[in-house]
Amino acid sequence: NAGVTQTPKFRVLKTGQSMTLLCAQDMNHEYMYWYRQDPGMGLRLIHYSVGEGTTAKGEVPDGYNVSRLKKQNFLLGLESAAPSQTSVYFCASSYGGINGYTFGSGTRLTVV
């Protein structure tokens, strides 16, 4: 039982490049989330999904796109990376309701 798996774990991008971060969960969770964490800022919600085929904006969605084509996967895309997107990205999933979230181990992204 792997839980929530994020790939890649580390990545360095040049400004203007694009990339996709993959989040996969094997718990049959309905809900999935993408957060970013910056020093001194805490975790901030980027986008989330309440089920396969659905996505919604969170607190800081600008510069990111997401897709949830399969229930177990939630993809976060950066179309044109900027240095301000240097951060640690965490994916989470949940059954919904009052259940807690299960987080992945994070992706450390540096944009130079």
Partner 1 sequence: DAKTTQPTSMDCAEGRAANLPCNHSTISGNEYVYWYRQIHSQGPQYIIHGLKNNETNEMASLIITEDRKSSTLILPHATLRDTAVYYCIVRRTGANSKLTFGKGITLSVRP
Which residues form the interface with partner 1 (CB under 8 A)? 4, 33, 35, 40, 42-45, 48, 50, 56, 58-59, 88, 90, 92, 96-98, 100-106
Report the DSSP beta bridge partners of residue 12: 110
Q: What is the CA radius of gyration of the chain?
A: 13
Task: Give the shortest CB-15-to-partner 1 separation in angstroms.
Answer: 25
Task: Give the shortest CB-50-to-partner 1 separation in angstroms.
Answer: 5
Considering the complex, state which of residue 17 and residue 86 has its C-beta at the smaller distance from partner 1. Answer: 86
Residue found under tokens 């694009």: 18
Residue 16: which region, alpha, beta or left (left: phi > 0; alpha: psi -120 to 50)?
left
Task: Give the shortest CB-60-to-partner 1 separation in angstroms.
Answer: 12
Angle (nearest 5°) at CA 40 between 36 and 41: 40
Considering the complex, state which of residue 69 and residue 98 has its C-beta at the smaller distance from partner 1. Answer: 98
